[in-house]
Structure 1
Amino acid sequence: MFDGEEIRYNGPEMSNLKILESYTFEGHDNCSAFHLMDFCPSLESAFMKNFPEDDFIDLSLKNYNLRDLVIEMPTQEDMNWSFLRDLLSKYPNLHNLAIRMSDEIEDCHVEELVEILPEVKLLDFRKCENITQRSADFLAKYCAKSKRSIKIYYDCEKEPIDWPKYDTPRESIVHGLDFMKHCFYKSFSNLPFLIDE
């Protein structure tokens, strides 16, 4: 954002890009990363931090390759549920979704998420204070009835010991293009500087 205006990406299609990590710095000239994702048809994993609602996204364009998505919400401006629902519907084959630091997403939205994301297997809502045991109870019943398996992580008083740890320390260089291992469970500030194949 710069003076309240987003910049539209106006470059070539990045057809070989598999992983995208993007962060908007307040007061800097930034391209809209969700719009940029529309130019990455092979994108499999993405980590987005501090991106508000995006006027440039083509909501009719689908990415069937995206499997992993982490969204850390802006500290001052949250995405409303209507926009977030439309955005996520662009990625029908999403398996792993993390939405963090959002006051907007609530237990009632989890029911919609499992409908618009028919392939989802993991939902990570840690740092979202409006996701509670109610969502976990709903998913347990839903999975038993639909024969799907969906894990949910959220802030609770006694986090089970088998849950992956959120925000493990940064490793500057990691080996292997394993987004789930090296990126998904971390905060943006703890992502590695380099992922070496």
Structure 2
Amino acid sequence: MFPALATELPEVKFMVSESRTDTLLAGLYDGSVDLALIATEPPSTGPTLASASLFIDAFVLATAVGGVPHTAPVELTSIDPETILLLDEGHCLRDQAIAACNLDDIAGGRTFAATSLSTIVEFVAHGQGVTLLPQIALRKETAGARIQTQTLAAPGAGRQLSLVWRQATPFAEIYQCIARIIRLTGSQLVSSTPD
């Protein structure tokens, strides 16, 4: 998405920083962040924020190549909860996977939690478990055919991506333009990604 932004908006200088949602939102509130791409519902409390919905980022099941076969599309209830590898606490993708797979009762007692999706994919590739991957990560995380992915049965699972900024900003028009570019680029990415 960033190359499309740089091409379409060459006059805009972007300083990009990746962080957890709560840190990005705190930055919006204190003025240290102008614009945040988040994968959770925009907050309804606190300082008034504006947001633009971008696209739905569906999840797929990632397993080791030649691992335990699942019937496609995979029912979330058919996945052994003990095999699901999660990100550390505080990552929205962890919370979304816990909710999608109904893992609330066992998530706290887990002994494995990674700080990055790439670490989880390495463990999956070596047969140490399975995970849910967002579609926008598939191009990178499935490179080299280290893992295989399968679609999830309806209703599936996923997350709504949104762009969020302070409502009182004088840059709302450019932020709406950025949202349109990300929406178009992201939608093309998820529709062209093999699963």
Specify which structure has the bigger relative contact order, considering alpha-carbon pairs within 8 angstroms and separated by 6 or more residues: 2
TM-score normalized by structure 1?
0.24
Q: Radius of gyration: which is bigger?
A: 2
TM-score normalized by structure 2?
0.24
Larger helix proportion of the pair: 2
